[in-house]
Chains A and B, each alone.
Chain A
Amino acid sequence: MSSDPLAIETVGLGKCYRSTWGLRDCSIDVPEGSISALVGPNGAGKTTLLRLLMGLRRPTSGKARVLGRPPAQEEDFLASVGFLAQDIPLYRQLSAAEHLRIGAHLNRGWDAVAAEQRLAGLRIPLDRPVASLSGGQRAQVALSLALAKRPRVLLLDEPLAALDPLARREFLTSLADVTVDGDVTVMLSSHLVHDLERVCNHLILLTASRVRLCADIDDVLSDHRVLVGPRRSTAELEHLFNVVKATQTERQSRVLVRLDGPVLDPEWETSEVGLEDIILGYMSQDDTLAAGPLSLAGGVA
């Protein structure tokens, strides 16, 4: 169990919309200073989780703590937690400079100079209406605004979605740069595991409104293996291992497993597996296999 202080923790957090649960029984720990990838298919609950953490929605069950306190409509909280919604909300007719001026009036502790320098460094014009900027430039403006209030936690909902590869790379570089001093904890959701893997050191995986993984990425990589061996029945496999996904042919079983210790049976050929494949393995499970949340931090949940 990491001894770092936690920037974000939730216990049994859940949100019900009319008849469906957008998020259920969500318990996560996010260490301070980390960059977390929040990953999962559409409708898995990523947006719900981020909005609950920002206090834009209220939980139906469980609780959340961000920087040690529940999210609230209070100026202290709003000053220390930054949020960047999907669709990059900006006033289309206003320029970046005007957004900065608005931000200065709405926030205490506003660092406009750093934001301007940042945007100048990215060669983004400050005086044109943001509607005339490219998607990547708008994302950078929105990020600069979110950072200008010097938040200690930054929550981003699919910030990479509308960006081309170069813009994505620049955005992720900016995020990584922000955490160099160690004062900011970042959580961003995305589908693009390949890009996230460079910059994120923590992973939260949601499928079907539940948490499947919440751990450091290094731990995820070292704890998962693909085992190939002679055909066994599904029941046998589940008895032997923590199976994430099993592929069977007539002669062979290939299983993605989460290990508790070394595999001693020489019949199994072990190989490492990349993060994207691990995540896809969890995402292709149906709900019957995974009965509850898994947490790698501190062992089996």
Chain B
Amino acid sequence: MTYLIWRLHRVHAIVAAGVIVAIAGLIVPSGIAIANSYHHAVTNCSINHLGCGDIGGIVFGSNGVFTSLVQDLAMAIPLVFGILWGAPLVAGEFEAGTEDFAWTQGVTRRRWVLTNLGWAFLVAAAWGGALAVLFTWWRGPDNAIDGPVKFIYFDVQGIAPIAYTVFAMALGIAAGALFRRVVPAIMTTLVAFVAVRIVTALYFRPLFAVTKNVSALASTPPLSYSLGQDILGGSNTVACQTLKCQAAHGAYNHISYLPASSFWPLQGVESGIFLVLALALAFFTYWSVTTREA
């Protein structure tokens, strides 16, 4: 059974490995350069008291575009697993008619689907893990400068990429099992993955937000992810031109943010959610393959 999976998916596996190697090839040198640059900037600041206010600019200055692109790429790639490996897993067999071959050999459908799910999830998790390791390391300096909790920063490091990739894979496979046609499976995987990711980022993460009122002159704490700031209250602040003036009139800053310390708890809970969803999708796939009729 493992041989069959390897034979049918070896191109996928090799390409996936290649992509990780390519990404590593991009960001390892970049990460080393960033780390060096950061180390110099920090030393410069602490010893010479120079540039302490703009370490981020010094370290990332010219590489801003590159760094955002690479992180955007890392956001998108888990979906590709769902589309290229997951969607055709069951659906491709039905479209080619080969399920009539695969399911009349000496292997029960139960064993077929469990082995396929097992290997697919393992590969997805390993790949996601490799991505997470690379980006967590790469983001070391930037985490110290800008915090780890911001949208996109949060999504490419820690353990979340593992959960996202496994979820994408589970989604693709389940959609394929449902529709038994590859194109509808791909479309469904695309839409559902993006939707769930957006919903968790926009509505779930803010549940962990800290909300408080601070001085009008203050802002969200460093390394946190600001979810909103509002200058409220105070009296006779209409004429004020500066924050100092508003503060003097009693205004305050109503802030909402995700603190840096919420990174790991949030990683744990969000990953847990995605993995539970993946498991549910796997159950559906199992039911579909073993119970629905060929």
* Direct contact, A vs B (beta carbon within 8 Å): yes
| CB contact under 8 A between A91 and B8, given known A54-B104, A57-B294, A85-B100 | yes
Cβ-based interface call for A108 (8 A): yes
Q: Which residues of B contact A81 (CB under 8 A)?
A: 104
Are B97 and A149 in contact (CB-based, < 8 A)?
A: no
**B109→A90 contact, CB < 8 A:** no
- Asked if B97 and A74 make an inter-chain contact with CB atoms under 8 angstroms apart, the answer reads no
Residues of B within 8 A of A79 (CB): 106
Determine the chain B residues whose CB is within 8 A of the CB of A239 once the complex forms: none
Q: Which of A54-108 contact B (CB under 8 A)?
A: 54, 56-58, 73-75, 78-79, 81-83, 85, 87, 89-92, 94, 98, 101-103, 105-108
Hey, which chain A residues are within 8 Å of B294, CB to CB?
51, 56-57
A89 is contacted by which of B98, B109, B110, B290 (Cβ under 8 Å)? Answer: B98
Inter-subunit contact B108/A74 (CB<8 Å):
yes
Bound-complex Cα distance A54 to B100 (A) = 10
**Interfacial chain B residues near A145, Cβ < 8 Å:** 101
State whether B109 touches A85 (Cβ < 8 A). no
Render B68-112 as a binary contact track against A, CB cut-off 8 A, 1 for contact: 000000000000000000000000000011111101111111100
Question: Chain B residues near A102 (CB, 8 Å)?
Answer: 3-4, 7
A89 to B98, CA, bound (A): 5
**Interchain CA distance A82-B101 in the complex, whole Å:** 10
Q: Nearest Cβ distance between residue A166 and chain B, in whole angstroms?
A: 25
Q: How far is the CB of B119 from chain A (nearest CB, A)?
A: 14
Docked CA distance A90–B8 (Å): 12
Task: Name the CB-closest residue of B to A93.
Answer: B8
Q: Answer whether residue B1 sits at the interface, using C-beta atoms and an 8 A cutoff.
A: yes
Nearest opposing residue in chain A for B111, CB measure: A75
Q: Are A92 and B96 in contact (CB under 8 A)?
A: yes
Contact B3 A101 (CB under 8 A): yes
Query: In the complex, are the beta carbons of B108 and A105 less than 8 A apart?
Result: no
Please pick, from B7, B98, B104, the residue contacting A78 in the complex, using a CB distance under 8 A: B104
B89 nearest CB across to chain A (Å) = 14
**Contacting pair B106 A73 (CB below 8 A):** no
**A212 → B minimal CB distance (Å):** 26
Once A102-B4, A105-B3 are accepted as A-B contacts, the answer to whether A89 and B101 lie under 8 Å apart by CB is yes
- Tell whether A75 pairs with B108 under 8 Å between CB atoms, given A58-B293, A89-B96, A101-B3: yes
Residues of A within 8 A of B2 (CB): 105
* Nearest A residue to B2, CB-CB: A105
Q: How far is the CB of A149 from chain B (nearest CB, A)?
A: 7
CB distance from A23 to the nearest CB of B (A): 13
Are A85 and B106 neighbours in the complex by a CB distance under 8 Å? no
Judging by beta carbons under 8 Å apart, are B96 and A91 in contact?
yes
Whether A105 contacts B4 in the complex (CB less than 8 A), given A73-B290, A89-B99, A91-B96, comes out as yes
Distance in angstroms from A189 CB to nearest chain B CB is 14
> How far is B106's CA from A101's CA once the two chains are assembled, in angstroms?
13
> Quick check: B108 and A106 within 8 Å, CB to CB?
no
Q: Given A90-B101, A101-B3, A106–B96 Cβ distance below 8 Å?
A: no
Cα separation A146 to B229 with both chains bound (whole Å): 70
Pairwise interchain contact B107-A78, C-beta atoms closer than 8 A? yes
How far is it, in angstroms, between the C-alpha of A105 and the C-alpha of B7 when the chains are bound?
Answer: 11
Whether B105 pairs with A106 at a CB distance below 8 angstroms is yes
- Cβ-closest chain A residue relative to B101: A89
Given contacts A57-B294, A105-B4, 6 further A-B contacts (CB under 8 A): A51-B294, A54-B104, A101-B7, A102-B7, A105-B2, A108-B106
Pick 19 A–B contacts, CB within 8 A, sort by A: A51-B294, A73-B108, A78-B105, A79-B106, A81-B104, A82-B104, A89-B97, A91-B96, A91-B101, A101-B3, A101-B7, A102-B3, A102-B7, A106-B1, A106-B106, A107-B107, A142-B101, A145-B101, A149-B106
Closest 4 CB pairs of A and B: A85-B100, A107-B106, A106-B105, A83-B104
